[in-house]
Structure 1
Amino acid sequence: MNELTGFQRDLLYCIAGTDDPYGLQIGRELENYTSTEVNHGRLYPNLNTLVEKGLVKKQSKDDRTNLYTLTDLAIDHIEERRQWENDKLQHLNITADTE
């Protein structure tokens, strides 16, 4: 996951935390987290990059909407990242429940 940008990592987390995530919904979730506008010119190229890297699966919901889901590889990367974060923050007694 270290080859991803922070924005791409945040997209993975938004996809993970959303039921039936589609592009606009993912963008709104990220806007709520960052309090900044996520424009289509940034959102969709980054989602496509995640698809190309095998981290996200894109499927058509209808003629205008695509659904994005995490692949097993993405879930593995997120678990590894969470473990790394736990290890780095251990001395602050800050942990993320990974169960």
Structure 2
Amino acid sequence: MATTDRSAPQNASELTAFQRDLLFIIADVGPEKGLGIKDEIAEYYAKEINHGRLYPNLNTLVEMGLVEKGSIDRRTNSYELTTRGTQLLTDRLEWQANQFDVDREE
């Protein structure tokens, strides 16, 4: 699904924390069906994640071009990071590493 540049995030800070966490989960387990992603993120958050929270956020990530939505069968979709999604996470990890440089001198 194509998106406009206007709706596409330039970096991970433009996403909600939940959306960033979904990207990390998908990077780890993808391609995966929605229920598999739901189980993984529920385990991380240590609480139930309802469908009304999960699927709208997955669809937003698809619309942003960060996740590709495929079809397993007529009722089941799969989700996988796009190259752009992978790059966004890579940039985020590099930024975090620079912010948390324990070897730097003060």
TM superposition score normalised by structure 2: 0.83
RMSD (Å) for aligned C-alpha atoms: 1.3
**Corresponding residue for 2:97?**
86
* Residue 92 of structure 1, CA deviation: 6.8
| Consecutive unaligned residues in structure 1, runs of 5 or more | 94-99
1:17 and 1:77 map into 2 onto residues whose CA distance is: 15
Give the number of the structure with larger relative contact order, counting CA–CA contacts within 8 Å between residues 6 or more apart.
2
Aligned pairs, how many? 93
Aligned runs of 1:15-94 on 2, under 5 Å? Answer: 15-91=26-102
TM superposition score normalised by structure 1: 0.89
**Cα distance change of structure 1 residues 42 and 92 upon mapping to structure 2, 3 Å threshold:** farther
1:21 and 1:92 map into 2 onto residues whose CA distance is: 38
Match for 2:26: what amino acid? Answer: I
Q: Is the 8 A contact 2:30 2:79 kept in 1?
A: no
Query: Which one has a bigger Cα radius of gyration?
Result: 2
